[in-house]
Chain A
């Protein structure tokens, strides 16, 4: 939670965006983030992000589901309340495969989605700064973080040289907060 100063550049073409991101990373400016309206393959590598471990979390949640199902049903049928169904064994593993499978999938899916929301810091009621009204439409937005005492003119010049279509300086909240998208935030007055 911190209000910071940013230099914002927009691009309308992925083919300009990729070299621009490369130049930003070589320039020494601090890249705050890149926002895109859809998943652009390879951009995560270009920005320098490692691959995500979300799928490993999913695997672990799945294992929890499997062991919950097998553990619980075997406890019920061998220890808590053993029942005789036509002389069949109490520990009837093949008959438990369907429930075990379903719980594996359920735990993995629910766990992964919750982890996804937690890592991305998204939730109903969460608000984040929208750097450009068309960042979810057709515009790729590159955001550089500036020092508070910098006027950012050099950063803007630099961004223009990378082929940006629009550039500006914005004061904005860097993280997330609880808020409503129909209300203006106090810091936004500084950007008028």
Chain B
């Protein structure tokens, strides 16, 4: 039972007067009602962007990749930049749901559902770029190891590009399973509440017939814990392997051992920023401010300032190493990054990623919703420039000055990028309308330790000295042995030693709870 004492230094995770039923009401209501006008407008624009993106991709496939701005010197342009950007964003969800579960961070319960959804959609968007970059996309299945008529000729298992295929498809599958297994009980809740036949049918199918027996819950807990344990190294491996795409090459600016931790920190940094962007809007539109509190936003801003600083240290380390190596190629690559024709991208990256997140050391700004929202967008602009800097400004001046080139995207590349925004937000709007955006069962699980009114009830115990508390426990124990009935504890003497707190007196059942614990 979750009746352990929680420190008063921790602020409540659920504000307002909530009981279990009120939690269901607050979170499921938006699903049962008609969406507001904002939803329709947003959804319409997302669909338009998606259709435009599909058009641009079809154009590029029909006419070939010559319609993109990439050339023989700069073979990876916006496509791989966007791929790494989206996959980085896709790191926050599983980090929140897996790593924060292992660290027993109660605040993850309010944000994990939306963050995991965001992860899944972001990985879907990321996957588009390498697929369509193949050019002859109809031969895409060649990268899978299947018995074929060409030998059989197998893919190169020693290549980071193939590792990426395995890493990203595994990451997508495991995140999806983790997310959906958590959704089962909440779908069952919508099903049991449903008034319309269609809703009962569809959520009945979606809930897999979940009823929530004790054994089901026991296995559910075991599954969540092991999936969290598996996802924790998985989430770190994915961006590590993405960084191998660069780090195992011999291009100055790419060939560095710092890449894996630097990429993972950057991924968490941008992922949390995207979570903040979405949650600031979601909590406002769906009126979930009492569940996704300022405290939740602050916790994520703390992670942003931490990972932003790690990223900053990594940038400086790269600079130092290029000088320390005294390798002409390395030094030139970094000199041209900073002062060459792409100087603006480097300085945009430095400003957005290293300088501006440092403002989050100020508590007032961490807890300011509008500032959080603006910063979350600034961080993601910065992280986009980081990938652009790594990819384009490492390759545009290569070993032969005669092949130096400049790259700018064409309208098809820009349209493709916009199209992935369309895909992402189309999915997110559907999610926000038809799925519980907060894990209802998990909020109920922490409600009685971390809900405001329940914490206030514990003030009485908090003000006891250890001696008083022991006397209180003994009294409750003695009483419990004497009487068989539940409602027979009213005569327990409460200590009167509280000095400043004035919480309500504990009811009979609370003395029972102390005993059980």
A152 lies within 8 A of chain B by Cβ: no
Q: Bound state CA distance, A95 and B159, in angstroms?
A: 8
B19 at interface (Cβ–Cβ under 8 A)?
A: yes
> B1 to A40, Cβ gap below 8 A?
yes
Q: A37-B185, A81-B154, A181-B200 are in contact. Are A72 and B145 (CB under 8 A)?
A: yes
- Residue A3, interface by CB 8 Å: no
A124 contacts B20, CB within 8 Å? no
Name the contact of A109 in the complex, choosing from B177, B220, B516 (C-beta under 8 A).
Answer: B177
The reply to whether A39 and B221 form a contact with Cβ atoms under 8 Å apart is yes
Q: Chain A nearest CB: distance from B220 CB in Å?
A: 6
If A37-B20, A49-B214 touch, whether A126 touches B209 (CB-CB below 8 Å) is yes
CB of A105 within 8 A of CB of B174, answer: yes
Q: Which one of B188-196, B293-301, B466-474 is at the A interface?
A: B188-196
B150-172 vs A: 1/0 string, CB under 8 Å?
01111011101011001100100
Q: How far is the CA of A112 from the CA of B230 in the complex (A)?
A: 11
Most chain B Cβ neighbours within 10 Å, of A16, A39, A110: A39
Complex Cα distance, B216 from A128, in Å, reads 13
Mask: chain A, 71-85; 1 = CB below 8 Å from B; 0 = not: 011001100110001
Judge if A106 is at the interface, Cβ distance under 8 Å.
Answer: yes
| CB atoms of B237 and A44 under 8 A apart | no
Interface residues on chain A, size class: 35 or more
CB neighbours (8 Å) of A37 from chain B are 20, 185, 189, 212, 441, 444
Task: Report if B445 contacts A (CB, 8 A).
Answer: yes
B220 lies within 8 A of A101 (CB): no
Task: Tell me the nearest residue of chain B to A47, going by C-beta.
Answer: B214
Known: A54-B222, A113-B223. A137 touches B212 (CB 8 A): no
Q: How far is the CA of A181 from the CA of B160 in the complex (A)?
A: 48
Which residues on the B side are within 8 Å of A99 (C-beta)? 157, 162-163, 166
Shortest distance in angstroms between A122's beta carbon and chain B's nearest beta carbon?
4
Residue from B2, B19, B487 whose CB has the most chain A CB atoms within 10 Å: B2
Give B185-207 interface residues, CB cut-off 8 Å to A: 185, 188-189, 191-193, 197-198, 200-201, 203-206
CB-based contact B512/A15 at 8 Å: yes
A14 to B241, CA, bound (A): 46
Is A42 interfacial (CB 8 A cutoff)?
Answer: yes
Contact B153 A81 (CB under 8 A): yes
Given contacts A36-B212, A112-B227, A130-B192, contact A95 B157 (CB under 8 A): yes
Q: Are A181 and B201 in contact (CB under 8 A)?
A: yes
A52 touches B222 (CB 8 A): yes
Question: Who on chain B is nearest to A163 by CB?
Answer: B486
**Which chain A residues border B177 with CB–CB below 8 Å?**
109-110, 113
User: Which residues of A sit under 8 angstroms from B445, Cβ to Cβ?
Assistant: 38-39
In the complex formed, the residue of A with least CB distance to B199 is A182
Measured between alpha carbons, how far is A35 from B442 in the docked complex, in Å?
Answer: 16
Q: How far is the CB of A182 from chain B (nearest CB, A)?
A: 4
- The docked-state distance in angstroms from the alpha carbon of A76 to that of B233 is 27
Specify the chain B residue showing the minimal Cβ separation from A46: B214
Best-buried of A34, A35, A38 by chain B (most CB within 10 Å): A38
Q: How far is the CB of A160 from chain B (nearest CB, A)?
A: 12
Query: In the complex, what's the smallest C-beta–C-beta distance from A171 to chain B, in angstroms?
Result: 17
Chain A 101-137, CB-CB to B under 8 Å as 1, else 0, gives 1110110111011001101111111111110011111
Taking CB atoms, residues of chain B closer than 8 Å to A128 are 209, 211
A121 to chain B, nearest CB (A): 8
Number of interchain pairs (Cβ within 8 Å): 221
- Shortest Cβ distance from residue B217 to the other chain A in the assembled complex, whole angstroms: 4
Do B192 and A136 have beta carbons less than 8 Å apart?
yes
Q: Does B112 contact A (CB under 8 A)?
A: no
Q: Which residue of A lies closest to B164 (CB)?
A: A98
Q: Which residues of B contact A92 (CB under 8 A)?
A: 158
> Smallest CB–CB gap between B26 and chain A, Å?
12
Closest to A58 in B: B226
A181 near B212 with CB under 8 A, answer: no
Q: Are A116 and B221 in contact (CB under 8 A)?
A: no
A116 to B227, CA, bound (A): 12
| Cβ contact of A163, chosen from B191, B219, B487, cutoff 8 A | B487
CA distance A100 to B440 in the complex (A): 36
Interface residues of A in 54-93 (CB under 8 A from B): 54-55, 58, 62, 72-73, 76-77, 80-81, 85, 88, 92
CB pair B219–A120 under 8 Å, yes or no, is yes
Q: Is the CB of A138 within 8 A of B20?
A: yes
Q: Which residues of A are found within 8 Å of B197, using beta-carbon distances? A: 182
Q: Which residue of A lies closest to B211 (CB)?
A: A128
Q: Whole-angstrom distance between the alpha carbons of A182 and B158 in the complex?
A: 53
CA–CA, A88 to B156, complex, Å?
A: 13
Please report which residues of chain A, range 12-29, place their CB below 8 angstroms from some CB of chain B when the two chains form the complex.
13-16, 18-19
Contact (Cβ within 8 A) A123 B444:
no
Asked if B214 contacts A42 (CB within 8 A), the reply is no
Confirm or deny: B513 has a beta carbon within 8 angstroms of a beta carbon on chain A. Answer: yes
CA distance A95 to B166 in the complex (A): 13
Rounded to whole angstroms, the CA-CA distance of A102 and B154 in the bound complex is 18
Contacting A at CB under 8 A, from B492-517, are: 509-510, 512-513, 516
Known contacts A38-B441, A105-B233, A122-B209; 16 additional CB pairs below 8 A are A36-B212, A37-B185, A41-B1, A54-B223, A55-B222, A55-B226, A80-B152, A98-B166, A99-B166, A109-B173, A112-B223, A117-B208, A119-B219, A124-B205, A138-B20, A181-B200
Query: What are 26 A-to-B residue pairs whose CB atoms are below 8 Å?
Result: A33-B214, A33-B215, A35-B214, A37-B444, A38-B212, A38-B441, A44-B214, A44-B215, A49-B215, A55-B222, A76-B154, A76-B157, A81-B151, A81-B152, A85-B156, A96-B158, A98-B163, A109-B178, A109-B231, A112-B226, A113-B223, A120-B215, A124-B205, A128-B211, A136-B210, A182-B204
Q: Which 4 A-B pairs have the closest CB atoms?
A: A181-B204, A138-B20, A126-B209, A122-B208
